[in-house]
Structure 1
Amino acid sequence: MIEGECVRQRGALGDVLEAARDRAFVGRNMELALFRSALAGETGACPVHFLHGPGGIGKSTLVRRLAREGLRAGRAVIEVDGRTVAPTPQGFTAAVGDIPAEPGVVLLVDTFERCQGLEGWLRNEFLLGLPLGSVVVLAGRRAPDARWTSDPGWSQLLRVTSLRNLPPDDAARLLHARGLPAGAHQAVLSFTGGNPLALSLAAAVAVREEGGVKSGWKPSQDVIATLLSKLLGDIPTPAHRRALEICAHSYVTSESLLRALVGAQAPELFAWLRQQPFIEATDAGLFPHDVVREALEADLRWRDPDGFADMHRAVHQYLVERVRTVSDAQLLQATSPLIYLYRKEASANFHKWRDGDHVKDEPYAEEDRERVLELAETAEGGESADICRFWLDHQPEAFRVYRSTQTGEIVAFFAWLRLREPLGADIDPIVDAAWAHARSAAPLRPGEYIALARFHVHPPVYQRTSPPMDLMHWRGLGEIFRADRQAWTFVVKRDDGHWDAYMHHFAMPSVGRRPRVGPHPYVLFGHDWRAQPVGPWLEERSNTILAHKLRRGASSSSGEHAELVVLSRPEFDTAVRDALRAIRRPDALARNPLNHSRVVTQSATALRTLLINGIDALREGRSGDKHHRALTTTYIAGALTQEAAAERLGLPFSTYRRHLTSGIERLIDLLWRSELNGTAVTGGDPT
């Protein structure tokens, strides 16, 4: 049907409807300008436009607006809805009807994905027969066949546009046009991500729910269900839906991640995800449009909280293992997806996420020295620059620089110091404060070290959220996750309160020391990894995401995690000897400090069981059987006296004492190594 005739038949009511649509239409300025250019026949304007994008992105709304533009330009406008077209050349031709002979017809085909099998025929036959000056718009979910753009003729005639979410200003204008008060805009925008359908639906619901507007709007399950049905279309199987949910929860989804969670179907599911119009592809993998991500997550949390918790833990475990095993060059790429899982917690306002592409993280090189010192002096002053110069001389490998991807200039730098002795404590007040706290709270044990995030320097937005700060935080967390024998981590920030809540949320509170460098006061945040190792620390962070959605019996995030004790080697030796003597007295054994040591808590076994496992492990070493028999007879079998134990073993008392003493020493050494390294006491003792 020719649209001009239809408008004349509708009369006043149709005019009111179209006027209301015009008032509610926002954005799409570039698309409108390109279409108007084609209508005007301007040089270089393309006569055929292919619009594609996911459901709800506003394709139909834009096509209606283009129809109005064509009518206002005096053109004959033909509209075709792909949902009502038989997907054959004959069916399409019948839907189009008689094309006016005069030049300048406008043909608009909406929901083109329903008849996309006709692309070849349209390209090679139908469109070639249209009168000169015709303008054609095809709008669908899927991008056009590559043969359009690879053809040297069509590449000059076709304009392909991927429709995106509305930018913030246009999204706010749409909400205003829908009658939503400005105070409620942010709540709706944070959920919808600028998707026009989501904005319109959420605004309509929020306006009706006046109490929700006042208190902070959240989408109802009806809104979420409606959005999912519109945005996703048909999902072939439960496995495909599972892949979508994993993709929504993860920062990016690779085929490797899917394989770890769904098994052999991963290649098929990844290929299907890749074809969906609401999925974007990057070098690291796939991710969904924001509104799809939000709706899928909210739906799964509500519909199947246990399933959501299981999926989260599986994704979390995969990402933790990846951080621990990737090369240094891949550390940031592996760490950012893990941190992204916490995006709705306290970290939400402290990261820019994908904006990190504006800079790249590189190791410091000697030719960067003057620029690094210049940045230090600009942001922190001359005394800080002198301290920075000292650390560049003594630990240049600790520094990372952040280079603009546009200009190549170094715009920021970061230092992750590793300290096994108080080097620089007389030069750097921050390092002096870190050592002072470690000595007073829990001194280092042999082989351990302190890590200090010493500099976070980006002068334009000093120590505030920015792409370089994202990368600095991610690198620091990646170093923590991979560390071996790291006793303390300290992070220093300017003492202005900005980071207090963030650091406290991640169990790295202020240690109460506020050193000064030049005129500036700083605050030192810290965490003792021997008191709460990385495993329990990550679990606690992860559980905050699940909150009350946790299944019965899972640990909570309410702070119930018991801190470990950090024993010196003499204290540890004494505790092991006391535990052996109390091994047959549960009440006395329960009071032993080893119960709160790393070696016991990480093994997830009772202290008595751990001691027995350790004694059994001694069999594998030199003189192991003698040591095992002496310890077993004395403590496990419970000989009344050492003389009785020697008699039971058929040994002279002096020989028995030698075996027992050596066995206790070897057992303590074995347990101490496990305490320091976090390894299980299950294998043989190599000594």
Structure 2
Amino acid sequence: MTPVGRAGLSLERGLLTGQQLCGRVGCSYIAAVSKDSGSLADRLRWARERAFVGRSEEIAVFRRALAGEADAAAVIYVHGPGGVGKSTLLRRFADESRDAGRPVVEVNGRLVDPSPAGFESETAGSPVDAVLLIDAFEHCQGLEMWLYERFLPSLPQQTLVVVAGREGPSPSWTSQLAWSELLAVVPLGDLDPSDAERLLELRAVAPAVRAQVLAFAGGHPLALSLAASVAADGYGARWAPTPDVLTFLLSQLVGEVPTQVHRLALEVAAHAMTTTEGLLRAVVGEDRGAEMFTWLRRLPVADWGRQGMFLHDLVSDAIDTDLRWRDPQGYEEMHRRVGHHLLEQARTASPAAAMVAIRELSYIKRYGSMGSYFQMRREGDFHEDTLRPGDHDAVRRLIVQAEGPESAAIVDFWLERQPEAFWIYRETVTGEPVAFMTWLRLSEPRADETAADPVLAQMWEHVGRTSPLRAGEHAMLARFFIYPPAYYEISPVLHLMQLRVCADWIRSAGLAWSFIISPYPRLWEQLMEHLGHEAATALDWPNGHTYTLFACDWRTTPLSIWFDRTQPGGLTDEASTPTTGAPTATLTRAEFDAAVRDALRDWHREDAIAASPLCRARMVTIQPGYVAEHAAQMLRELLTDAVDSLSVDPREAKLHRVLATTYFHRVPNQMIAAERLSLPYSTYRRHRQRGLERVCELLWKRETAERSLPVSHL
């Protein structure tokens, strides 16, 4: 295959002048747009064209394909390292396509759901003569074989496709004879010296400084652009490079951020997978969210797609790393606010939108001591699906291969009893099942179920011994995570299973207990402890494994604070904030209950909450990330969640309404609260008293627990 990956085509052969090319394509790309054009869009196009340098060979390949020349490629695959200019080149391709009268469809691999259905939804309804531009394909590289075997052949002949990513196409694609005349592979490298100098000239970098900048950044387009932003702004001949390009340049750019609010917005954008106005409102405040979003979009390192705005990967990594090192407490607070916003999205959105929020929650867990459980270098090879009628044989084959006939008999039982509990994970290319998860929903022990499944029997024994289910509650048991090539090991397939489990932890009303099984507790115990699931039972099995069941009682783990207890941590394994040695108030049960009642009464008074002895109670000080200045906020969240937990049980919903109205809705007195609830005053008082007793009981259980109580999964 030739340097551009297509037999008989080289970058040097058949190049045309800009005028000839535009003539063949039917456009006037250079002539039609000028500084004096009437519309703002035209002026922006002129500025973009003027700032674009180099890449003449790559553009020539694209123009030949756009013109439909006989030996031109139908698919162009551009690949190169981060910051080398792939997205900029695709924007140029988009401009030229529109000039040629061709509709443009843009897909960003960073934002697309990495499954065939998710990818197809991004391109549905595309015109037959569209130019399809797929950027950041490395984020869904696992779709590659499906792309060239199924998706691309299904497109109309008139469609032109450009794929851009950090990884080149696989040999299994480029070696296929059928693709040799249709695929052009275009490696993208640094700008040559003359183009690099031209870029600095266009960015108004003084001639006396250019040699230093070039020596500093080489021909790397992103580094050159960032260096130009710094060197062109008052440095003159005094500009001095440092050994670390991005660290130095970003420190300069962050130093010029107008206010602390702007700095926080930049840090949010670096931390999150995508940034929206809603996310910024949640973190920087309702009155500044729109302003900060507009400011971020104007940054030269920002890009955007259907889900929101995002920074270039190299930039976001550098900013995020700097904040974790510089201000770990500020980092954890920002992380907490981002997480709470995503939690609310995951809890309230439609199922499809909720899974996007779950993926973004998982993304912000990519750092810290748990990072190895959440960092997936490659996605798209597999996707989640429901159980179909023809899948039963594959499920049986997988369980026999992984665990043996004894487990297969249990799987057969659950396929008959609860088929909706099975999630299938298919290979994207073939659609064949390669893994499955059995995620059981259980509301009461049944003799035939416990007889058929000894793990279930152990689960119900643990629940009955510790804290039985109440009316309207249920437990969820992750009975099987079966992927034979990486059996209960960290893998992209298990990551998809974790996302599904996480979604149900967040969205399942009435969830009281969750259980996770593993034959390798030492591999997973660190994550389980981090997520609040403690080892509860162990069962020897005929295949030689001992299966440990990790358990979490969600009634003692209100949803609104569980994310706070799974902070990503500092740059090292050492805790970034002190979590031990905090002064703890020792209260008797009577003193504790009185303090709870006082704190509810003073819920709207910040000074009174801050002075409460509960701010030094063990249930507050054992929280990961505890610092004294956040104690009042942590206490208010504990009080709120304890009250809200009463709404789960229909029998206690009336207690929740009484307490919420009395303490959270700013009613002047209890008589008015009773009137607002349409209750006789005697009934109101009885409900309020019983509600206070239940809240004190729940919080006392937290106070006297042996360790920080369970949390959820990200």
Give TM-score, length-normalised by structure 1: 0.54
- Residue in 1 aligned with 2:503? 478
Distance in 2, Cα, partners of 1:328 & 1:39: 47
Q: Which amino acid aligns with 2:466?
A: A
1:253-294 deviation line (CA, Å, top 9, x unaligned): 345434544557766765776686755656544443432122
Question: Which of 415, 423, 432 is 1:400 aligned to?
Answer: 423
Question: Which of 478, 493, 510 is 2:518 aligned to?
Answer: 493
Q: Which amino acid aligns with 2:412?
A: R
Distance 1:33 1:459, change over 3 A: closer
Q: Which amino acid aligns with 2:503?
A: G
Q: Which amino acid aligns with 1:602?
A: L
Q: Which amino acid aligns with 1:624?
A: P
- Residue in 2 aligned with 1:55? none
Matched residue SS, 2:533: coil
- Residue in 1 aligned with 2:458? 433
Distance in 1, Cα, partners of 2:688 & 2:245: 65
Q: Taking CA–CA contacts closer than 8 Å with sequence separation of 6 or more, which of the two structures ends up with the larger relative contact order?
A: 2
The answer to whether residue 642 in structure 2 is matched with residue 603 in structure 1 is no
Question: Contact between 2:368 and 2:568, CA under 8 Å: does it hold in 1?
Answer: no
The answer to whether residue 96 in structure 2 is matched with residue 148 in structure 1 is yes
Distance in 2, Cα, partners of 1:225 & 1:118: 26
Q: CA deviation at 1:421?
A: 1.4
Q: CA deviation at 1:675?
A: 7.6
Q: Which amino acid aligns with 1:149?
A: S
Question: Contact between 1:246 and 1:253, CA under 8 Å: does it hold in 2?
Answer: yes
Distance in 2, Cα, partners of 1:339 & 1:161: 26
The answer to whether residue 225 in structure 2 is matched with residue 225 in structure 1 is no
Q: How does 1:115-264 map to 2 (within 5 A)?
A: 115-116=51-52, 142-143=88-89, 144=92, 146-150=94-98, 164=166, 225-228=247-250, 242-261=264-283, 263=286
Q: How does 1:57-68 map to 2 (within 5 A)?
A: none
- Residue in 1 aligned with 2:565? 540
Q: CA deviation at 1:343?
A: 1.4
Q: CA deviation at 1:31?
A: 6.5
Question: Which of 379, 382, 385 is 2:405 aligned to?
Answer: 382
Q: How does 1:524-603 map to 2 (within 5 A)?
A: 524-542=549-567, 544=569, 557=579, 602-603=638-639
After TM superposition, the structure 1 stretch with the greater mean CA deviation from structure 2, 266-275 or 529-538, is 266-275
Q: Which amino acid aligns with 2:468?
A: P
Distance 1:380 1:558, change over 3 A: farther
Give TM-score, length-normalised by structure 2: 0.53
Q: CA deviation at 1:427?
A: 0.9
Q: Which amino acid aligns with 1:532?
A: T
Question: Which of 462, 466, 475 is 2:491 aligned to?
Answer: 466
Q: Which amino acid aligns with 2:690?
A: I
The answer to whether residue 383 in structure 2 is matched with residue 360 in structure 1 is yes
User: Which structure 2 segments of 5+ residues have no match?
Assistant: 19-32, 36-46, 64-83, 103-130, 132-157, 170-188, 190-217, 225-241, 599-612, 621-633, 644-657, 664-668, 701-714
Q: Which amino acid aligns with 1:252?
A: T
1:274-315 deviation line (CA, Å, top 9, x unaligned): 686755656544443432122111233455556534432321
- Residue in 2 aligned with 1:619? 674
Distance 1:623 1:533, change over 3 A: closer
Question: Contact between 2:421 and 2:439, CA under 8 Å: does it hold in 1?
Answer: yes
- Residue in 2 aligned with 1:76? none
Question: Contact between 2:382 and 2:427, CA under 8 Å: does it hold in 1?
Answer: yes
- Residue in 1 aligned with 2:434? 411
Q: CA deviation at 1:490?
A: 0.8
User: Which structure 1 segments of 5+ residues have no match?
Assistant: 1-28, 50-86, 90-110, 128-138, 168-173, 175-194, 202-219, 563-574, 585-589, 629-662, 679-687
Q: Which structure: larger Rg? A: 1
Distance 1:358 1:435, change over 3 A: same
Matched residue SS, 2:557: coil
Q: Which amino acid aligns with 2:680?
A: G
- Residue in 2 aligned with 1:571? none
Distance in 2, Cα, partners of 1:560 & 1:221: 42
Q: CA deviation at 1:35?
A: 14
- Give percent identity, aligned residues only: 32
Question: Contact between 2:325 and 2:570, CA under 8 Å: does it hold in 1?
Answer: no
Distance 1:500 1:118, change over 3 A: closer
Matched residue SS, 1:356: coil
Q: CA RMSD in A?
A: 5.8
Q: CA deviation at 1:425?
A: 1.3
Q: Which amino acid aligns with 2:528?
A: M
Distance in 2, Cα, partners of 1:249 & 1:31: 37
Question: Which of 332, 335, 358 is 1:312 aligned to?
Answer: 335
Distance 1:425 1:282, change over 3 A: farther
Question: Contact between 2:223 and 2:245, CA under 8 Å: does it hold in 1?
Answer: no
Question: Which of 315, 327, 333 is 2:356 aligned to?
Answer: 333
Distance in 2, Cα, partners of 1:37 & 1:376: 50
Q: CA deviation at 1:247?
A: 1.9
Q: CA deviation at 1:352?
A: 4.4
Distance 1:674 1:373, change over 3 A: farther
Matched residue SS, 2:440: strand
Distance in 2, Cα, partners of 1:160 & 1:276: 26
Q: CA deviation at 1:445?
A: 3.2
Q: Which amino acid aligns with 1:404?
A: E
After TM superposition, the structure 1 stretch with the greater mean CA deviation from structure 2, 595-604 or 459-468, is 595-604
Question: Contact between 2:2 and 2:9, CA under 8 Å: does it hold in 1?
Answer: no
Question: Contact between 2:531 and 2:566, CA under 8 Å: does it hold in 1?
Answer: yes
Question: Contact between 1:429 and 1:517, CA under 8 Å: does it hold in 2?
Answer: no
Distance in 2, Cα, partners of 1:390 & 1:295: 51
Q: CA deviation at 1:319?
A: 0.8
1:138-190 deviation line (CA, Å, top 9, x unaligned): x968331634235669999x9989684899xxxxxx9xxxxxxxxxxxxxxxx
Q: Which amino acid aligns with 1:249?
A: H
Q: CA deviation at 1:492?
A: 0.3
Question: Contact between 1:489 and 1:527, CA under 8 Å: does it hold in 2?
Answer: yes
- Residue in 1 aligned with 2:127? none
Distance 1:517 1:267, change over 3 A: farther
Question: Contact between 2:536 and 2:550, CA under 8 Å: does it hold in 1?
Answer: yes
1:569-602 deviation line (CA, Å, top 9, x unaligned): xxxxxx99x979x999xxxxx99xx997999983
Distance 1:47 1:463, change over 3 A: farther
Q: Which amino acid aligns with 1:603?
A: L
1:170-215 deviation line (CA, Å, top 9, x unaligned): xxxx9xxxxxxxxxxxxxxxxxxxx9979999xxxxxxxxxxxxxx
Distance 1:298 1:377, change over 3 A: same
Distance in 1, Cα, partners of 2:379 & 2:11: 41
1:206-261 deviation line (CA, Å, top 9, x unaligned): xxxxxxxxxxxxxx99765324279x799885576654422210123345434544
Question: Contact between 1:309 and 1:546, CA under 8 Å: does it hold in 2?
Answer: no
Question: Contact between 1:305 and 1:549, CA under 8 Å: does it hold in 2?
Answer: no
Distance in 1, Cα, partners of 2:642 & 2:507: 27
Distance in 2, Cα, partners of 1:672 & 1:459: 46
1:108-164 deviation line (CA, Å, top 9, x unaligned): xxx9976449999xx99xx9xxxxxxxxxxx968331634235669999x9989684
1:639-661 deviation line (CA, Å, top 9, x unaligned): xxxxxxxxxxxxxxxxxxxxxxx
Matched residue SS, 2:370: helix
- Residue in 1 aligned with 2:473? 448
Distance 1:408 1:414, change over 3 A: same
Distance 1:498 1:326, change over 3 A: same
Instruction: Work out the number of aligned pairs and report it.
Output: 474
Q: CA deviation at 1:401?
A: 1.5
Q: CA deviation at 1:534?
A: 3.2
- Residue in 1 aligned with 2:106? none
Matched residue SS, 1:445: coil
